[in-house]
Amino acid sequence: MNKRQLLQTTLALGLAFAAPLAAVAQDKTSIKIGVTAGPHAQIFEKVKAVADKQGLKIQIVEFGDYIQPNAALAAGDLDANSYQHLPYLDAQVKDRGYKLVRVADTVNFPIGLYSKKVKNLADLPQGAKFGIPNDPTNGGRVLLLLQAQGLIKLKENAGLKATPLDVVSNPKKLRFVELDAAQLPRSLDDLDASAINTNFAISAGLNPKTDSIAQESAKNPYVNILVVRESEKAQPWVGKLIKAYQSPEVRQFIETQFKGAVVPAF
């Protein structure tokens, strides 16, 4: 074998081993998970303890809004996130081009309606100011809940992304105030009523079971999910993360800690 043939053989062998080695290198033993503050962060503290026993170290990174966790994951600053439902992820992927995918279901947070001024929805005055999240999926979710409660009627084809422009009947002439979901608990004093996502409600000291004046059914399309970059969905660490989250220990923690305000979806 001459030198040229030897070089070609060596190069071929190197390439043959490169792919398996790269795959092994991605089987991480330490990962960063993005969560929103409140229940998601609390649940992941338990997930972290379970995963640690399986040899997977988790660093939890908390965020105060719904925008940054996907941006950070897409940029490679996180390995996964746990805070959103599938309709929200689908909207983000479509609008921002993120290469992110759902790998598992986690929990469901039935959204609640809250007020410091009335005890039930029927008591809302004419022209009441009603707070709703300003992102399309959660805003539409609230409008569908208000329709189910008989306060408004939407266009037949409005779907999950309904907006106030899709309201065709509004007997109480509710005035919708669209705010970032994280701002809604702090704005409750200035509104007649507001929808508040359960994770932010709990963080603000509200009990969804006793403080809400109406609540979404737990059987809805808004199950929360674990999300990773599409390129990493088949990596072994992803399976370990799912196993840790969907463990009996984590289920028991959710059921004991949140007493029905947060529902396991696995």
Contact 34, 76 (CB under 8 A): no
For position 7, what pLDDT does the model report? 42
Task: Compute the average pLDDT of residues 39-47.
Answer: 97
Task: Compute the average pLDDT of residues 96-125.
Answer: 96
List the CATH code of the domain at 112-215.
Answer: 3.40.190.10
Q: Read off the pLDDT of residues 45-82 as tens digits, 9 standing for 90 and up.
A: 999 999 999 999 999 999 999 999 999 999 999 999 99
For position 2, what pLDDT does the model report? 54
Q: Read off the pLDDT of residues 179-215 as tens digits, 9 standing for 90 and up.
A: 999 999 999 999 999 999 999 999 999 999 899 999 9
Cα distance between residue 214 and residue 75, in whole Å: 38
Task: Compute the average pLDDT of residues 160-171.
Answer: 95
For position 18, what pLDDT does the model report? 44
Residues in the chain, how many?
A: 266
pLDDT(142) > 60: yes
Task: Compute the average pLDDT of residues 96-116.
Answer: 96
pLDDT band at 26 (very low <50, low <70, confident <90, very high): low
Torsion of CA 229, 235, 237, 243, to 10 degrees: 90
Domains 29-110+221-264 and 112-215 share a fold: yes
pLDDT(16) > 60: no
pLDDT(21) > 80: no
The tokens describing 30, both together, are: 């330490």
| Topology of the domain covering 29-110+221-264 | D-Maltodextrin-Binding Protein; domain 2 (3.40.190)
pLDDT band at 1 (very low <50, low <70, confident <90, very high): low
Cα distance between residue 28 and residue 69, in whole Å: 20
Give the amino acid at 23: A
For position 9, what pLDDT does the model report? 46
pLDDT(10) > 70: no
Q: What are the extents of the domains in the chain? A: 29-110+221-264, 112-215
